[in-house]
Structures are given as C-alpha cells and as structure tokens.
Amino acid sequence: MFGTYSDLPGKVAVVTGGSRGIGARTAQGLAAQGVRVCVVGRDENALDAVVTEIGEAGGSAFAAVADTTSAEDLAAVAAVVDDRYGPVDVLAAFAGGQGAPISSTALSEQRWREVLDSDLTSAFLTIRTFLPGMVERGSGSIITMSSAAGRQPSRANLAYGVAKAGVVMLTRHLATEIGPHGVRVNAIAPSSTSTEKVVANMPAEVRTQIEASHPLRRLGTTTDVAETAVFLASAASSYLTGLVIDVAGGRVTN
C-alpha cells in the first residue's frame, strides 16, 4: 500500500530495470501517484505486461526496450521520453542483477566486467543521459539501486558487492556535486527480496535460513523497496540527498 504524495501527479519518471521485480513495482507505484512513467528494460514482452497493468489501473506508461550499458540506447530512450512526456523529473536507475554466486578464485575477468557493466556502469550511463536536463531546470530526483551486498561483505559475491559499493559512492559523489543545482541523488540498498525469481529458485530451507538472519525475520518485498523509491521521488524527501537507505530488515546492522 503506497502513501499519497500530492506533488507527484503529472511528473515524468524513467525507471530502468523495469520489466520485473523491484523496477516493475516501482514503475507501478509511481504511476499510481499520477506520475507518467517510461519503463525501460530488455524484455519487450515483460515490459508490455507492466505497462498494460499500469494502464488497467488508470496510470500512464509506455515501454522502451534498451540496453542500459549502451549510451546510444539510452540517448534514444531520452529522445522518446522528451517527445512523449517532456522533461524527466524522476530517474530510478535500477537496472542490474546479481547472477549466480561464484567464488573469488573462480571469478573470470569476463564475468567481473559483465557484473560491473550491468550494475555500476549502467547506473553511471543512465544518470549521465538524464542529468544535464535536470541540472538545467534546477530540479530532479535520482534514485540508484545499491544492495546490502555493497554495504557488508559476503562470500561468493565479490563482483556484485564491489559494483553495488560503487553505486553508493556514485550516489554520494553526485549528491555533493549537483546538490547546488537542486538535484537530489539517493540510493536504496535492499537485502534479500522476494521477487518472482527468488521465490521460484530458492529452496524452502534456504529461505528459512535467510529469514532468520534478518532481525525482522522475513524477506523484503518488492513493495517495501518501491515504497521507499516513491518516497524519495516525492517532495516529502526534499531535504534528503546523498543518503543510502537500507531496506534490509535490519540485516546490515545485524
């Protein structure tokens, strides 16, 4: 259940990684506030399903198929958004993924580069695409996706943890640099979240163990994370920038 933010109706948002999971739920949450949303991802069918669901709920959204590690693809998305909706007020740079755990000794250079491209370079390129317009207008909210893995080391997660730690510093550096221009940059760092993929692939005994490692004794939901994103998009967070919010059930402090 999302709160209501009176400043959001009519604004324009771009959500990358929007075809499923946290990105899809964030797109839905923003649209429910009256935000016009461009949902970006690589899976056209999944994107269309998200857009259809938003439309059936009375929201406004369209899909843009793009690879967020490609500056050219992102420039094309920006042009389409500007043509259809106008200037972007909210950017949720959520594309990325963890992939299968792999030990540091088995981690190949190719896999290392793939993870950093997917989770860190994509965030940088996405922000670089939309930031100039926000700076020119003197307003905007940028939300990045870090992870508990980028806040606390864990086994068999080196590349992902480093990439997500990089997202934290990307967020803080940008917040410091562009704050004087009226643009805010904040990060969300979820712990284990019960997305469809996690539910389908996680054995019951593993889920029980992970839940027990959280002080709140449950996995997070996509709505838990999306509600935080919607809050950061709104004027209710107007004095927050450079912040990393651990939506992690207390796990990072445990």
Known catalytic residues? Answer: 160
Torsion of CA 216, 218, 220, 223, to 10 degrees: -100
| Position 74, amino acid | L
How far separated are the first and last CA of the chain, in Å rounded?
27
Q: Where are the beta strands (DSSP E) in 182-240?
A: 183-190
For 126-162, the three-class secondary structure string (H helix, E strand, C coil) is HHHHHHHHHHHHCCEEEEEECCHHHCCCCCCCHHHHH
Q: How far is the C-alpha of 189 from the C-alpha of 8, rounded, in Å?
A: 23
Cα-trace Rg, the chain: 17
Helix (H, G, I), strand (E, B) or coil at 250: coil
Cα angle, residue 176 at apex, residues 173 and 177 outer, rounded to 5°? 85
